[in-house]
Chain A
Amino acid sequence: MPQFVRAGLRHNRWLETEGREPLDFPADVLTDLRTTGDEISVFEISGAVTAERIATAFAAAPGKKEPAQTTYAVFDRAAVEELGIDIKKTDGDTIDAAVNLLHYDLHVGTTRKLIELAGVIAGSTPIPILKKRVEELLKGGFERGHLDHKRNRVLCDKVKARIPAIQEDHPLVGQEEP
Chain B
Amino acid sequence: MSPSASTSAEQAVRRRTAAGSTDIGPVAYFAVSMPFEDAFGAGLAQYLANVEFSAAAVVVSGLGGVFHDSYAFGLTAEDPQKVGTTLRGLWERFREGNTSVLVFDLPGSVTARVMSPGPAGQSIGHAPGLFSSTDRVLGIPRLVESQFATALTLAGGEWFEDGVESRFSRTLSTLAFAYGDAVVASVELFLASPDVNMEVAVEAAQWLGEVDHPASRSYRKKLLEKVLLTSRAVRLRHGAAAGLAAMDDPSSLSAVTEARERESNRGLQHFLQLVVDQLERTRACPSS
Contacts and interface: CB of A to CB of B under 8 A. Distances in A.
Nearest to B162: A68
A130 B163 contact: no
B245 A28 contact: no
A151 interface: no
Contacts of A131: 242, 245-246
Interface in A1-40: 8, 10-16, 18, 28, 31
A41 interface: no
B227 to A, nearest CB: 13
Interface string B231-271: 00011001100100110100000000000000001111011
Interface in A55-79: 59, 61, 63-71
Interface residues of B, number: 27
A63 B266 contact: no
Interface string B171-200: 000000000000000000000000000110
A62 B161 CA distance: 13
A132 interface: yes
A128 interface: yes
A90 B16 CA distance: 57
A11 B265 contact: no
B33 interface: no
Taking residues whose C-beta sits less than 8 angstroms from the other chain, chain A's interface range is 20 to 34
A126 B266 CA distance: 12
Interface in B146-161: 159-161
A interface, by DSSP: helix, strand, loop or mixed? mixed
B265 A31 contact: no
Nearest to A131: B246
A12 B245 contact: no
Contacts of B275: 130
A100 interface: no
B102 interface: no
Nearest to A67: B163
Which of A11, A67, A126, A133: most chain B Cβ within 10 A? A11
A14 B163 contact: no
B285 interface: no
Nearest to B160: A10
A167 interface: no
Contacts, number: 71
A48 to B, nearest CB: 25
Which of B234, B246, B274, B278: most chain A Cβ within 10 A? B274
Contacts of B163: 59, 61, 64-68, 70
Contact of B266 (A12, A18, A64): A18
Interface string A151-177: 000000000000000000000000000
A71 B161 CA distance: 11
A15 B274 contact: no
A15 B267 contact: yes
A132 B159 CA distance: 23
Contact of B245 (A64, A71, A126, A130): A130
Contacts of B159: 31
Contacts of A66: 163, 165
B7 to A, nearest CB: 34
B58 interface: no
A65 B165 contact: yes
Which of B162, B234, B242, B245: most chain A Cβ within 10 A? B162
B284 interface: no
A14 to B, nearest CB: 7
Q: Which 7 A-B pairs have the closest CB atoms?
A: A68-B163, A64-B163, A12-B238, A68-B162, A12-B235, A15-B267, A130-B245
26 contacts: A10-B160, A10-B161, A10-B162, A11-B267, A12-B235, A12-B238, A12-B242, A15-B267, A16-B265, A18-B267, A59-B163, A61-B163, A65-B165, A66-B165, A68-B163, A69-B162, A70-B162, A128-B271, A128-B274, A130-B242, A130-B274, A130-B275, A130-B278, A132-B248, A132-B278, A133-B278
Interface of A: 8, 10-16, 18, 28, 31, 59, 61, 63-71, 125-126, 128, 130-133
